């Protein structure tokens, strides 16, 4: 499958691995793939998107930039057109909050609230007893230090992230494309309920909007 990936798609995958290594996350998940896609669109983590602004992590694999801090990849253009690059700081905060709640999205928290379950209160109690971020690290296995002369193993992809990659192939085939680009990864992230899809939807980016933006881009050449 990976031989079908374009250079842009490969950079997204490498960028996702870089995000996992940067944060110390044991696996590469949907959140890391989303952040790597946002890297392609540029923007600033503080919410500033001024041309030429430097932001942390710009030397991470997958962060090669064109003028103005953006690439010319299809996903970058779509995310820019939908305004996601300008809301990167908010998206990152939302992803961090999901991680802090142990994977529970805002939509999940609202649904549980309807059942009388206050997720934030539960998280606060857990953190009071076990420390801030206890749920984010629950069940994770600390990475072992490599033996002398051995390289540190790359983070594995989570089941959800693998599904995103596999689904991108099916989406590409359904669209009649012979390649898998970063636009297919973006479509795949938004095609099924998940952390990335929920966070993007909260910021005005849905599968339908991404598909329409890609169609409009193709029509305009």
Tens digit of each residue's pLDDT (9 = 90 or more) over 65-86: 443 456 789 999 999 999 998 8
| Ramachandran area for residue 153 (φ above 0: left; ψ -120 to 50: alpha; else beta) | beta
Helix runs in 64-206, H state only: 74-81, 88-100, 106-114, 119-130, 134-137, 159-174, 182-191, 195-202
Structure tokens at 163: 């599904």
Q: At what angle do helices 106-114 and 195-202 cross, to 10 degrees?
A: 90
How many CB atoms lie under 10 A from the CB of residue 55? 17
The contacts of residue 82 (CB under 8 Å, 6+ apart) are 204, 205, 209, 210, 213
What is the gyration radius of the CA atoms in the chain, in angstroms? 18
> pLDDT truncated to tens, each residue of the chain (221 aa)?
778 899 999 999 999 999 999 887 888 999 999 999 999 887 555 444 433 333 434 444 444 444 345 678 999 999 999 999 889 999 999 888 877 666 666 666 666 667 777 656 665 665 456 655 545 544 343 343 334 444 445 789 999 999 999 999 999 999 999 999 999 999 999 999 888 999 999 999 999 999 999 999 888 76
Cα 55 from Cα 45, distance rounded (Å): 7
DSSP 151: P
Cα 52 from Cα 164, distance rounded (Å): 32
- In this prediction the pTM is 0.74
Cα 168 from Cα 174, distance rounded (Å): 10
- Coil, strand or helix: which one is 157? strand
**What are 180's strand-pairing partners?**
5
Cα 106 from Cα 108, distance rounded (Å): 5
Condensed to tens digits (0 to 9), the pLDDT of residues 139-166 reads: 343 343 334 444 445 789 999 999 999 9
């Amino acid at each position: 499958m990976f031989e079908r990936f374009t250079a842009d798609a490969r950079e997204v995958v490498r960028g996702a691995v870089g995000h996992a290594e940067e944060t110390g996350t044991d696996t590469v998940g949907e959140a890391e793939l989303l952040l790597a896609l946002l890297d392609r669109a540029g923007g600033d983590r503080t919410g500033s998107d001024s041309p030429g602004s430097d932001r942390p992590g710009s030397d991470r694999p997958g962060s090669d930039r064109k003028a103005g801090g953006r690439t010319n990849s299809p996903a970058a253009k779509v995310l820019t057109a939908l305004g996601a690059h300008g809301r990167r700081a908010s998206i990152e905060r939302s992803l961090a909050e999901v991680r802090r709640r142990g994977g529970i999205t805002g939509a999940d928290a609202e649904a549980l609230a309807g059942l009388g379950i206050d997720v934030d209160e539960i998280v606060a109690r857990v953190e009071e007893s076990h420390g801030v971020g206890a749920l984010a690290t629950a069940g994770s296995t600390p990475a072992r230090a490599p033996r002398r002369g051995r390289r540190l193993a790359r983070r594995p992809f989570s089941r959800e992230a693998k599904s995103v990659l596999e689904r991108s192939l099916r989406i590409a085939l359904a669209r009649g494309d012979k390649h898998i680009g970063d636009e297919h990864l973006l479509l795949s992230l938004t095609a099924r309920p998940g952390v990335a899809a929920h966070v993007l939807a909260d910021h005005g980016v849905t599968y339908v909007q991404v598909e329409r933006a890609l169609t409009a881009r193709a029509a305009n050449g």
